[in-house]
Amino acid sequence: MLDQIRIVMIHTTHPGNIGAVARAMKNMGLVDLCLVSPKRFPDEEADARASGATDLLSSARVVSSLDEALEGCHLVVGTSARGRHIPWPVINPRQMAAVACELRPGKRMAILFGREDRGLTNEELHRCHHHVHIPTNPDFSSLNVAAAVQVVAYELRMALMEQQAGDQPQWGTDWDIDLADARETELLFGHLEKTLVDVEFLDPNNPRQLMTRLRRLFLRAVPDRVEVNVLRGFLSAIDRVVVRAAPDREVAEKSSEALDAAQKESGNV
Ligand code: SAH
């Protein structure tokens, strides 16, 4: 989808902004940059601000009219820092990115960015299917044009990632270890409860919500199998110290064999 998006900068005054836009685009994977009558371009300042994205500047198309810039585009959106007199469908960058995701193969969408001082003219805005406004402080709503491109390009990338979410692992990252299954997790909680009673942190006659809160805490971390085993090993070490410290207490009845068996059951650390 990203190569179906054309960023169109209209009458940009500062070449540094063009360079910064090239950088923002390359960071987010956009490639198609079109400049309508830039004041100074090419320019050293643009190269400097592009950092490593000078290839995008070299491939940028410079044209003299909006018509030329929009050639081959099926959908046109114009970005604007403020409301206009005639209401127009206004969407935010996230909604715009969702629209972009629906582009059929081979279709293009142009996103227009205006002059640093005056933005887009009404005439230019009236060429657009939608207007895009980045939600801002209403008393200070105008972003630097390259910052506006950055926000829009980021939303496009995020939308693309979400579109591909079907292929993404459930927990947002390709985990190295399997998640603990329900049985392993229950063994951990059983073990935890027993140890907490033994160290007299949990009163079995007045348990309150302690185990519920601890369950919630551990489950929130979505532990994997090794993590559960580390915790059980840690509990077993406490159990052994408890047995040693108070051999006469009831806890001493738990032979260390039983503890070892419990540890083995969940796999050794
Ligand atoms: N005074 C101008 C501001 C221009 S800022 C105006 O009121 O339009 C230069 C360009 O950055 C704008 O034309 C637009 O393309 C983009 N931009 C700046 N702030 C924006 C915002 N809050 N939402 C969408 N685009 C914005």
Residue 266 pLDDT more than 60? no
Per-residue pLDDT reduced to its tens digit, 139-176: 999 999 999 999 999 999 999 998 887 655 656 566 78
Instruction: Identify the residue whose C-alpha is closest to ligand 1 atom 8.
Output: 119
19 touches ligand 1 (CB under 6 Å): no
Residue 33 pLDDT more than 90? yes
Choice from 79, 111, 150 to test ligand 1 binding pocket (greatest atom count within 8 A of CB): 79
CATH number of 182-266: 1.10.8.590
Q: How far is the CA of 215 from the centre of ligand 1 (A)?
A: 49
Q: Where are the domains of the chain?
A: 2-166, 182-266
Report pLDDT for 261: 56
Choice from 121, 142, 149 to test ligand 1 binding pocket (greatest atom count within 8 A of CB): 142
Q: How far is the CA of 148 from the centre of ligand 1 (A)?
A: 7
Where does the pLDDT of residue 257 fall: very low under 50, low under 70, confident under 90, or very high at 90 and above? Answer: low
Please give the order of strands across the beta sheet that includes 61-63.
61-63, 32-36, 5-10, 109-113, 75-79, 130-132, 90-91
81 touches ligand 1 (CB under 6 Å): yes
Please give the C-alpha separations between residue 193 and each of 196, 200, 231, in angstroms, as whole numbers.
5, 10, 13
17 touches ligand 1 (CB under 6 Å): no
Where does the pLDDT of residue 15 fall: very low under 50, low under 70, confident under 90, or very high at 90 and above? Answer: very high
Q: How far is the CA of 89 from the centre of ligand 1 (A)?
A: 16
152 touches ligand 1 (CB under 6 Å): no
Q: How far is the CA of 182 from the centre of ligand 1 (A)?
A: 52
91 touches ligand 1 (CB under 6 Å): no
Q: If we measure between CA atoms, which residue out of 142, 153, 147, 82 comes closest to residue 111?
A: 153
Cα-Cα end-to-end distance for the chain: 45
- Indicate the SS3 state at residue 242: helix
- Among the residue ranges 59-63, 125-129, 245-249, 253-257, the one predicted with the least confidence is 253-257
**Whole-number Å distance between alpha carbons of 21 and 132:** 17
List 91's β-bridge partners, or say none: 132
2-166 CATH pick, 3.40.50.970, 3.40.50.10800, 3.40.1280.10, 3.40.50.960: 3.40.1280.10
Per-residue pLDDT reduced to its tens digit, 70-118: 999 999 999 999 876 678 889 999 999 999 998 989 999 999 999 999 9
Per-residue pLDDT reduced to its tens digit, 183-240: 899 999 999 999 999 999 999 999 999 998 998 888 888 888 999 999 999 999 999 9
Residue 19 pLDDT more than 90? yes
For CA atoms 214, 220, 221, 226, the dihedral sign is positive
- Work out the average pLDDT over 56-65: 98
Residue 251 pLDDT more than 90? no
148 touches ligand 1 (CB under 6 Å): yes
